Structure 1
């Protein structure tokens, strides 16, 4: 459609030299059954569809790069047995990764310590500690058995965690840690409650 529109506009006298093709590349939120095209495949498709136009091509693959580069790590607070299901209550919440609460987005959840071969999985509702019905990461998610103190990771959180996070319910933002091989560094520390409160300024006339 973009190629057809470009040719139509050129025929009408417009000098079209640049095409912005947007993001284009998805990321595998569900690693078991999603296989987005690779950058090489995407570039081949671009060349096939618009290469004959001789335009400068702009693409925005930020989510593809940043999304898969980050994980959100959370600790299990406790496992609660409900009437018909088990709840995995973690210390992360909707303010840290809001996509599941906002529009039921899927993020793979994996234990930091891989389970032993042959481990039987069970279904959990994975929820946060904020007293909100929307503070839910997953319902009926099949996971290896977990207990208080275990660490889990939400995959593909790199493009969303930091930029969409908030301090709702006076929950300090999580620290950000950059990792390269066996090296790591805290690149954004967790603010203290005092840091949050001290941002407020009371007017002199109050």
Structure 2
């Protein structure tokens, strides 16, 4: 790596505290901040390591319009899991879109099929994970390229809830793929690829070994099919270090291992990272509203909670938390449990964290919030969703407005 190469990870300590405080003052909290420059750096890291492979961005990681436009401008393709994501990707300027349908609702298929004819020069591939979806596409008159999502029986990821490669919900069972491929061709469809995905947040050696096993199985399957494919996509899920003492992935090593596991292919090998592109490009800012000493811990109540950042409650995920108080370095450290305003015991963003003695009005920053942060925000407890600010160099702009209490009932019909 030369001195001009972007660093492999951006730690929470590297964000400019004064600038983040200014953004919190200007826009209020809770507030997501996404750095488009870091998004580009992460894409550059991926392209340097996976230079021979096709890279698609897993749109579900972050669909904020400015972020999608940034990724589209780098030249990556888009991988989408819903009609809404396809719509967002097309409107953001992606020229090549793969719709990976997971038990797709009829309305999703209607929209995506209509786009295949309505959007000029759109390179659209629909990936099916069940024979039923093939029949549904045939009923709608779809005649574009298809790929098959395979269940290779190999899963990995940071939590059981995001391990997909061995879950029956995802993909066609490995041994049934040749028969489905023959059926696709017999019905006159253009079978262009195979797809599989081990899971999300692949980071440790066990996860990487599972990823290599999945790739090896998929490479074998691609060679055994009596049909030439354009691509073999082996998914994404590349993890990032959420804890400050964790090392980042060695992308060159992962890329080499992926190529080696795939073996000789006539098809292009592809990956679809999402988290790696955006996670460390985003932080969540939140303001302390309550400091409550208890016999067990000091509870630090903040205005962000599980409706703002769901991952800790959903996956027991760890996110680093940093005080942005100007005099933070002069305060004595306190073991704090950072909790939100939601009426749930699960509404905790971090337990027993060493923080400079917190005070009401302090702004805290929560790291690695660019992936699956704003995407999973909800209105539970009738709480409005937060605003999003986009940074690009010295410039900043509001990318998503903060919801208001009036927005919560905007779609409701008065009787």
TM-score scaled by length of structure 1: 0.87
Once the two structures are superposed, the pairs formed by residues 112-151 of structure 1 within 5 Å of their partners are 112-113=324-325, 115-116=328-329, 120-151=332-363
Report deviation, 1:48: 2.8
Equivalent of residue 295 in structure 2, options 65, 80, 83 = 83
Equivalent of residue 376 in structure 2, options 161, 164, 176 = 164
The residue that corresponds to 1:46 in the other structure is 258
Structure with greater helix share of residues: 2
Equivalent of residue 26 in structure 1, options 225, 239, 261 = 239
1:152-172 CA-partner distances (Å, limit 9, x unpaired):
111111111211001111211
Report deviation, 1:10: 2.8
The residue that corresponds to 2:104 in the other structure is none
Q: 1:6 to 1:145 in 2, by over 3 A?
A: same
Are 2:387 and 1:175 equivalent residues in the alignment?
yes
Equivalent of residue 37 in structure 1, options 249, 258, 261 = 249
Equivalent of residue 267 in structure 2, options 55, 58, 63 = 55
Of 83-92 and 39-48, the range deviating more from structure 2: 39-48
1:103-159 CA-partner distances (Å, limit 9, x unpaired):
211111112247327x64221111012222111112111222221111111111111
1:70-110 CA-partner distances (Å, limit 9, x unpaired):
11110011210112321111111110001111221111111
The residue that corresponds to 2:365 in the other structure is 153
Q: 1:194 to 1:5 in 2, by over 3 A?
A: closer
Q: 1:13 to 1:195 in 2, by over 3 A?
A: closer
The residue that corresponds to 1:99 in the other structure is 311
Distance 1:107 1:68 in 2: 11
In the alignment of these two chains, the number of paired residues is: 201
Distance 1:141 1:47 in 2: 40
8 Å contact kept, 1:179–1:185: yes
Are 2:332 and 1:108 equivalent residues in the alignment?
no
| Secondary structure of residue in 1 paired with 2:399 | strand
1:18-56 CA-partner distances (Å, limit 9, x unpaired):
221111410111122x22324333222223332533431
Unpaired runs of 5+ in structure 2? 1-212
> Alignment RMSD, CA only?
2.2
Equivalent of residue 6 in structure 1, options 200, 212, 219 = 219
Q: 1:197 to 1:8 in 2, by over 3 A?
A: closer
Report deviation, 1:200: 0.8
Distance 2:402 2:237 in 1: 34
